[in-house]
Amino acid sequence: MDLSIAGILLLNGTTNAAVYAMLAMALVLVFTVTRVIFLPQGEYVAYGALTLALLQLGKVPGTVWLMLAMAIAAVAQDAARHLAQGRLGALARDALLTIGTAAAIAALTWWGASRQWPLWANGLLTLAIITPLGPLTYRLAYAGLADASVLVLLIVSVGVHLAMLGMALVFFGGEGFRNPSFWDERFSLGQLTLQGQSAIILGTSALLIVLLAFFFGRTLLGKALRATAVNRLGARLMGISTTTAGSLSFALAAFIGALSGLLIGSTTTVFYDSGFLIGIKGFIAAIFGALASYPAAALGALFVGLVESFGAFWQSAFKEVIVFVMILPVLFWRSFRSDPTDEEEE
């Protein structure tokens, strides 16, 4: 291997790492705030990429109807509670806000689908369709179980993963799609060429990390999320709603997932089930930080990306094997770094 190949591998690995880093951030966020190991994170990636693909083809993607159906189900689920407490106002507000938003986005999609909008507009529309799926998933699947053990929440995640995977097949079919690039420019750096799309990926990931750091460090909402992550009961006593915090973290997770989907959609062919694999790599990155540390997760992502890219060069058939076996030494190293922890479930 000479230097130029090494450079190409380095660049490729870093670009993939940028995507894994975003997903790892989302996983750490969701886990610390809600204790949910969010197995279906990768599904949002596939949903994002494929929703865009269908919009580009002038079709109304099934994800729109899913969003609408989930909004109605979520309102119906909480309606009983609102009615029992006689809070008709809260019910009406919830219905208007949740179903109204979903209906507005659906109407916009339905109206715009046949009008051949430019790529960026369809991209934004995709984000608007997929992001609400996060908090809706939280409300429907997790919020009623907020006090359950990590194990139960994990198994719920398995259920959400299975459901989302099956629905992806219904919505998008078994065929893969490759989206056009957002930016076709190419930059030459000596012997290296940096694709415009790669530049966007790297830039977006870096920007996202900075924004998240700002959000958690400087804004009240971000601090509330951090407080929930540290101590749920304490946060509740301080007037921070854990349900709101959960919805918010799921919204961020879905947004980050969909955004990652938009970004990778032009660098690789995405199938309905591609998300899971990408999500698991995000998990491996997050495990570097024991699902708790953002910087360690970002470093982990870089490591996973590079191992994958160099592994693909040396042993292309076994690149996935190498990436997945990597988790063992990482866990081994972590197990000596952390005190044996004990989950006490009262």
List the interface residues with other proteins, window 8-37 (CB under 8 A).
Answer: 37
72 forms part of the interface with other proteins (CB under 8 A): no
342 forms part of the interface with other proteins (CB under 8 A): yes
3-state secondary structure the chain: CCHHHHHHHHHHHHHHHHHHHHHHHHHHHHHHHHCCCCCCHHHHHHHHHHHHHHHHCCCCCHHHHHHHHHHHHHHHHHHHHHHHCCCHHHHHHHHHHHHHHHHHHHHHHHHHHHHCCCHHHHHHHHHHHHCCHHHHHHHHHHHHHCCCCHHHHHHHHHHHHHHHHHHHHHHHCCCCECCCCCCCCEEEECCEEEEHHHHHHHHHHHHHHHHHHHHHHHCHHHHHHHHHHHCHHHHHHCCCCHHHHHHHHHHHHHHHHHHHHHHHCCCCCECCCHHHHHHHHHHHHHHHCCCCCHHHHHHHHHHHHHHHHHHHHHCHHHHHHHHHHCHHHHHHHHHHHCCCCCCCCC
x/- site string to other proteins, residues 284 to 303, per CB under 8 A? x--x--xx------------
x/- site string to other proteins, residues 127 to 146, per CB under 8 A? -------------xx--xx-
Nearer to other proteins, 119 or 167 (CB): 167
Cβ at position 223, least distance to other proteins in Å: 22
276 forms part of the interface with other proteins (CB under 8 A): yes
152 forms part of the interface with other proteins (CB under 8 A): yes
Among 92, 96, 169, 207, binds other proteins (CB under 8 A): 169
Among 60, 72, 90, 165, binds other proteins (CB under 8 A): 165
Interacting residues toward other proteins by CB under 8 A: 37, 140-141, 144-145, 148-152, 154-156, 158-167, 169-170, 173-174, 276-277, 280, 283-284, 287, 290-291, 317-318, 320-321, 324-325, 327-328, 331-332, 334-335, 338, 340-346
